[in-house]
Structure 1
Amino acid sequence: MEGIRVLRLHKRASAFLESIQFPGFTLRDLLRPDPRRLVQVLSALINFLYYRDDKLALLQPIIHEFPNLDERCMELKAKLAEHQKAIADHELAAQMEEPMVQQLEAEVNSLKQKLVEYNKKQLALRANATAINDKKEETHRKVIAKSDFELVKLAQENSKLLSKIVQSPEKLQRALEEKKTARAELKNAEKIAMQSVQEKTATLEIYSKGYEKLSKHSTKIQALQEQVTATKALEKEVKARKTKISDESVEIMALDTKIIEWDGKVHEMEEHVKAKEKERDQIVADENQKLAALSSEVEWKLKCLEPRERKVEETIAKATKLCAEVDSTRTDAAEELQLIYAKFQQIGHAFTCYKDNFKSFLEQVDEVSKETLESLDRQAVEPLDTSATL
Structure 2
Amino acid sequence: MASSFKYPDITRSEIIGYLAHFGFASNVTEQDLLNPTRELVENIYTHLLNYLDLIQEDDEQADFAALEVFHNPDLHVSTVPVMNLLHKMRGLLAAIDCPGQFTLWDLIKPDPDRTKLFLGSLLNFCTHRTIKMDELTSLAGELDVFVEQKQALEEKLSQLNAEITQCNELRAREALLVQEEEAKVKELKQTIAGLNNHQVSLKSETRKMKERAQELDELTSNVEFELVQSAQENAHLRYKIVQSPDKLQRALEEKKSHQVEAKNTERAAMQAFQDKNATLELYTKALKKMSKSLEQMKAIQEQANSVKSVEKEIKALKCKLGEDEMLDKSLDAKLVEKQGKADQLDEMKKKVEIECILAREEATKELNNVKSQVESTRNGLLLRKKQVETVIAEGDAVNAKIISVGENAESQCQQLKLKHEEVAKEFMMYSNKVGDVLKRYRVDPPTQQ
Structure 2 length-normalised TM: 0.39
Greater percentage in helix: 1
Higher CA-based Rg: 2
Structure 1 length-normalised TM: 0.44
